[in-house]
Amino acid sequence: MDKSNVVGFSGREKNADPLTDLLRQGARDLIQQAVEAELSEYLQQFTERRLKDGRAAVVRNGYQPERHIQTGIGPVTVKVPKVRAKDGKPITFRSALVPPYVRKTRSLESALPWLYLKGVSTGEMDNALQVLVGPEAKGLSASTVARLKRQWAQEYTAWRQSRLDRDRWVYVWADGIYSGLRAEDTKLCALVVIGVNERGQKHFLAIEDGVRESTQSWREVLLDLKARGMNTPKLAVGDGAMGFWSALDEVYGATRQQRCWMHKTSNVLNAVPKSVQAKMKQSLHDIWQADTRKAAESAFEKFERMYEAKYPKAVQCLHKDRDELMAFYDFPAKHWQSLRTTNPIESTFGTIRHRTKRSKGCLSRDGMLHMIYKLGECAQKNWRKQRGFNYLAKVVQGVKFRDGEEVMTADQRVA
């Protein structure tokens, strides 16, 4: 009875997974940027305070001891700067973001982009601060947030110019994200491209201002990606209604096309009465969830026979993209879940759409793009590697797949 089958693990804190380490680093960097912006704003009020020889009377004076603030991703290290008054008049810098008594917050990393979004409306500054450190913290000025916004605008500009030729991009997902703007009748259409490289890492490649997802707007986005060094992807996934496909044919003509089944299902069901939608949706499921292309083609033809007489518009909506809806069968089955829809974009921008709505149209066009970039940057840190990423190298090498399985060559069969 004195034996136990419970195995103790030592040094668990040291064995944190790399993703958590990355998230903590991102949180640490973001909070440090915000505190430094606070300090710069604080020192501005003492610019006229000088010593007899003309030197500044209030200056930086190193940092307070490092502190650990407990977040949802574990402890995050924070360093708060100190100031010193050379003229003998005592002065102390207290950060509104990281007051001395704050030791715990729900999530610094996600709160800072939220602060960026909420902070553009100075009347909601207290709400933004409460999200970050709780109702006790006060004092973050609108000008401090403006300084942060300028810094993040510079980061967005630098990101748009970053090179893409250090990776081989295998798949890309494209979509247009609409958001309301201040004092404008039309909505901003942010053209978004996400790519996965041969190591299975997903990254935002483009977040650009577009005009109703027009071919010209997408052409400019793709030409910019090409100028930054992006190779020809093996497959592109997107909504069939976009001008993206015409632009893709011009810029990356060799890239295969896969229409998003989520968008297609919605478009097809919109063409029929609600009483029919549940049954028709199941018929659509039978197509794209089939194990083989042959079974999918059979389900496709069955769908047409069942609904063509009564609902020709729905059938035509599905039929016009038939080949492009089936492209995923020529790629590894491990990747099908990701390739059949634009979910990598939709799931990320669900949160961004919610926060855009909360902003009540207070953002300018540039501010909206910068906000989308910052929120997307935080979301990107949580992304997992592409499922079945070890197959990506084979896709890059041109290995053929049929119904999700690798096609064995004659040499391979002999071996």
Task: Determine the number of helices (DSSP H) and then strands (DSSP E) in the chain.
Answer: 16, 11
- Residues 256 and 244 sit within 8 Å (Cβ to Cβ): no
C-alpha closest to that of 37 among 119, 136, 127: 119
Assigned token pair, 257: 């096309």
Assigned token pair, 216: 């010209």
pTM above 0.75, yes or no: no
C-alpha closest to that of 222 among 235, 232, 212: 232
Q: Which amino acid is at 54?
A: G
* Local confidence pLDDT in tens for the 415 residues of the chain: 455 444 443 444 444 455 556 556 666 777 788 788 888 888 888 888 888 888 888 889 888 888 877 655 567 788 889 998 888 888 888 887 676 655 544 444 445 555 544 433 444 444 544 544 454 444 455 566 667 678 778 989 999 999 999 999 999 999 987 765 544 555 668 899 999 999 999 999 999 987 767 899 999 999 999 999 999 999 999 998 778 999 999 999 999 999 999 999 999 999 999 999 999 999 999 999 999 999 999 999 999 999 999 999 999 999 999 999 999 999 999 999 999 998 888 777 765 555 555 444 446 778 778 878 877 887 787 788 999 999 999 999 999 999 999 998 765 555 5
